[in-house]
Structure 1
């Protein structure tokens, strides 16, 4: 794989990539390399043990958390959001179910609308970011968004839906969502470096998220100070690969549930993908994907069960991951 190492290094240099790349093939790691700086002001380099934010990629871990609760009977795919929300978020249709939310087919209004024009580095949150530290705090940004269409009618990617799922998890279990993720996903998968960190008190191995490939401006004023079901998880490339391995070995949820999660529910031709429950799906192969994109964060990871291929690209800048990810997608099949 010397040619892959050479080509990735060349693209990284050309585009000022800062982050980490890992490629596994049939259980063997053939490329694992960090690039750039985790803390530009102090010149601290990224390493393979650096914890990176992965934005919406955590929708996969949210879905796994929910499905583990479905498996043990705490929730059901048919559980309605209303049954646990009570009088909160009255704009959500009473017929919206856990399955609708997992599949992005709920039709609820989104507090961060992916279809809005604008730049990824815009300031989009309607409340100061420091107010968003617990999942219940998100009620302030989830409320007041009208239902867009009848539940189940069609696919529409929705960040709010996964925060609502986190709320349902908390209300069904009586436990903070981030702790349930640790218990239900991180523990069984052996993820030691994966957690919902506060952006205003990042530990020493966590990378700051930078708005551009150069400069010192970070994303600390752009995103919730601590994430929830739709984003905000920090992890390492090693933990990402451990997650794929453990999920498809049936160690997080039983394998029949994994098969159900990667069964296509919707086509999304505008991004040339399909969608299951919490996971993007390749339109023509069995490849399963997790993606994240936000101010100071870009991430893509692919796992193809039939060939044992897994690759991950994560960047601590807004668009940094895409050139390397595009290259890997083209040369690795």
Structure 2
């Protein structure tokens, strides 16, 4: 199986010149751990086991876990209304928006990057330079005065702004910055020693630069495409082994009690995909009457990430890339090879 997996991953790598790291485990047994491409193309520094990668929206799960921790401590409930737990001015927001709505992308609020009217992330920073976005409150002017897109609870509509609001609630209730809360209450508890929220213009050692490739073979880094520092909707940097530790800590109830872990992994709302559902910060795919996989993913300019846990086989897969695409193709090859046999 290991040889076939490596061959399939290599095929995917050759198709799109994949750059990044791949880790596959069955329970605690390592199946594949491999690296491709450069963390720094100019200096020809290769990606390796310890390379940190941005994971974009993959870290919405961190935010959801943090909210569940605060609910578990009695600081708020999933039915607490936004207007009752966050100080701020949102003149057009529905008064019935709850924490549950924000967690499940059903709040109906406007997003700060509206994919229906924008297709280039860099357009977002024309009036608000990305180097000014270093704290969660810096995102608010981008969406807080816009009208609702739909009624609260009406439908699933993936939304980054909702997770910014959740991060602000975490800051307000914990009296910590969002990144400090996550690092203290999730990263440390899960043993994620090489993960953190870093500023793009001050990246630590062993962190991959994100690359945007053009059809003519040229490229640039993503430093002008993303906020200077990520927040509660995305932007942490991790290693593949740290994400494996996160799955272990979450599934072994080390971050939340069994009750709240179950709550977080509940398929609350159907997404636009027939077999797809969303829990709290996590995507869930069903096959017939069982959970096929729990997965998290993130795609930004210069970032491509996909990770999944398959309950029936206890397989964990983590794919981190410092290019705009490639992770999904690797994931598809992995699933075709191992899941038809394991499931």
1:1-333 equivalences in 2 (<5 Å): 1-116=2-117, 118-119=119-120, 122-125=122-125, 126-212=127-213, 215-270=218-273, 272-284=275-287, 285-286=290-291, 287-333=293-339
Q: Tell me the CA shift for residue 100 of structure 1.
A: 0.8
Are the structure 2 counterparts of residues 75 and 84 from structure 1 closer, same or farther at C-alpha, using a change threshold of 3 Å?
Answer: same
Instruction: Confirm or deny: 8 A CA contact 1:111 1:145 kept in the other structure.
Output: no
For residues 25-67 of structure 1, the C-alpha deviation after alignment (integer angstroms, 9 at most, x for no partner) is 1321100001000000100000111000000001011100111
For residues 208-236 of structure 1, the C-alpha deviation after alignment (integer angstroms, 9 at most, x for no partner) is 00012854401101110001110111000
- 1 CA distance for matches of 2:229 and 2:122? 18
Determine helix, strand or coil for the equivalent of 1:299: strand
- 1 CA distance for matches of 2:284 and 2:114? 22
Q: Tell me the CA shift for residue 271 of structure 1.
A: 7.6
Instruction: Confirm or deny: 8 A CA contact 1:57 1:292 kept in the other structure.
Output: yes
Q: Any gaps of 5 or more consecutive residues in structure 1?
A: none
TM-score, length basis structure 2:
0.92
Q: Tell me the CA shift for residue 117 of structure 1.
A: 5.6
- 1 CA distance for matches of 2:178 and 2:118? 31
- 2 CA distance for matches of 1:202 and 1:133? 14
* Bigger Cα displacement from structure 2, 211-220 vs 190-199: 211-220
Q: Tell me the CA shift for residue 257 of structure 1.
A: 1.0
- 2 CA distance for matches of 1:259 and 1:137? 33
Q: Tell me the CA shift for residue 185 of structure 1.
A: 1.0
Q: How many residues align?
A: 332
Q: Tell me the CA shift for residue 147 of structure 1.
A: 1.1
Determine helix, strand or coil for the equivalent of 1:162: helix
TM-score, length basis structure 1:
0.95
Q: Tell me the CA shift for residue 122 of structure 1.
A: 4.7
- 1 CA distance for matches of 2:274 and 2:206? 33
- 1 CA distance for matches of 2:42 and 2:274? 36
Instruction: Confirm or deny: 8 A CA contact 1:279 1:290 kept in the other structure.
Output: yes
- 2 CA distance for matches of 1:216 and 1:331? 32
Q: Tell me the CA shift for residue 272 of structure 1.
A: 4.8
- 2 CA distance for matches of 1:311 and 1:46? 18
Instruction: Confirm or deny: 8 A CA contact 2:122 2:224 kept in the other structure.
Output: no
- 2 CA distance for matches of 1:239 and 1:123? 33
Q: Tell me the CA shift for residue 268 of structure 1.
A: 1.5
For residues 235-265 of structure 1, the C-alpha deviation after alignment (integer angstroms, 9 at most, x for no partner) is 0000001000110000001122111111111
